[in-house]
Structure 1
């Protein structure tokens, strides 16, 4: 009795393989640091140091581990952005809207956040050493483990809604 060989499935031709790969990767966002500022942009692990980003709209943007050192984000809108471990060292962010933004372990050393809105922002383990937060709104923000050494909290609205006294440095009085 002749031995029958097991049938192997036919391999897709090269064009078919490419089509399948294209369909599988459709809709997968790729980080492009050269993409223009826009809502939902994916700037993960990008270098945006020294950029003029005044008033930009970055609602829901992916900014994980991106660096914005000495950038100007005055009046920028970043609600619900994911800025986990992002660096905003010496960034100008006066009047910025960071409501609901994820800033866990972010470095905001010496950042100017005067008048910024950080309502419901997640600032756990963030570094805010020497930051200017005069008049900032921190209503409902999470600050567990945040380093606020020498941060100016004069007239800031604290997490519980009370207003910090003039001269509040490092903690709300």
Structure 2
């Protein structure tokens, strides 16, 4: 391969099996670049003016690799790839395509994943704290027991995702779509959820104390044993929602059979 990887390569649906930069001494294996006019160099870690490598240093995108701080916007990873335990903390991954990837226990805390596509991706017990996830596609993703505290999830699509026992405290999830998602026993304390949708979602045992829930849609949601103490539910729609034994915002326990309102 030509050693000058900064040039444009015109090919379609190609896979860089081994890209080598002689000047930087960098190996990137298994990176997929899709489309015409793809810039191979954009898949490589950047270098400081003094020649020091930032991000992945002689690392492959593989399980447990240390790629924190990597500059990989638009990265495309082939479905089925295993990246469990990978460290992408504070990485630049805007618009990345990470569908059907196993990222169990991955660390993407503080990473920029704005508009990334991560549907059907496994992120069990992953760290996404302080991550930028605006407009991300997490449909059918598995974020069970994941840590998303203080993340920015505004306008994301999280339909049918698994978020049971996840930490979503202090997270900005305005206008986010959680339809049919499983947030049972999730901790959503002090989160901002204005205009979010939880239609037909499962929030049994979820903790929403102090959460901003104005104009949230809980239509036909399962809210049994959910905790709404000190939350703001102004304008929220509870039509058909099951609030049996939920703890209401004023501390009273809703009666068994409370449907659509706390009785």
The reply to whether TM is greater than 0.5 is yes
| 8 Å contact from structure 1 (residues 153, 172) kept in 2 | no
Task: Using the TM superposition, give the Cα deviation of residue 52 of structure 1 relative to its aligned residue in structure 2, in angstroms.
Answer: 1.5
CA 1:42–1:22 in structure 2 vs 1: closer, same or farther (change >3 Å)? closer
For each residue in 1:40-95, what CA deviation from the matched residue of structure 2 results, as whole angstroms up to 9, or x when unmatched? 10000001101111111100000000011011111111000011101110001111
**1:86-101 superposed matches below 5 A:** 86-101=141-156
Which structure shows the higher strand fraction?
2
1: CA distance, partners of 2:187 / 2:162:
13
| 8 Å contact from structure 2 (residues 11, 37) kept in 1 | no
**1:4-19 superposed matches below 5 A:** none
Which structure shows the higher helix fraction?
1
2: CA distance, partners of 1:108 / 1:170:
19
| 8 Å contact from structure 2 (residues 146, 166) kept in 1 | yes
Q: Does 1:26 align with 2:36?
A: yes
Query: Tell me, what secondary structure is at the counterpart of 2:158?
Result: coil
CA 1:140–1:26 in structure 2 vs 1: closer, same or farther (change >3 Å)? same
Task: Using the TM superposition, give the Cα deviation of residue 25 of structure 1 relative to its aligned residue in structure 2, in angstroms.
Answer: 4.8
**1:14-163 superposed matches below 5 A:** 22=12, 25-26=35-36, 30-32=76-78, 37=91, 38-160=93-215
TM-score with structure 1 setting the length: 0.77
| 8 Å contact from structure 1 (residues 49, 69) kept in 2 | yes
Match among 165, 168, 173 for residue 229 of structure 2: 165
Alignment RMSD (CA, Å): 2.9
**Unaligned 5+ runs, structure 1:** 1-19
Q: Which structure has the larger Rg over C-alpha atoms?
A: 1
Greater length-normalized contact order (CA 8 Å, ≥ 6 residues apart): 1
Task: Using the TM superposition, give the Cα deviation of residue 110 of structure 1 relative to its aligned residue in structure 2, in angstroms.
Answer: 0.2
State the aligned residue count. Answer: 152
Match of 1:9 in 2: none
CA 1:72–1:120 in structure 2 vs 1: closer, same or farther (change >3 Å)? same
TM-score with structure 2 setting the length: 0.52
Task: Using the TM superposition, give the Cα deviation of residue 165 of structure 1 relative to its aligned residue in structure 2, in angstroms.
Answer: 2.4
**Unaligned 5+ runs, structure 2:** 1-9, 14-33, 39-73, 217-227, 232-242, 250-263
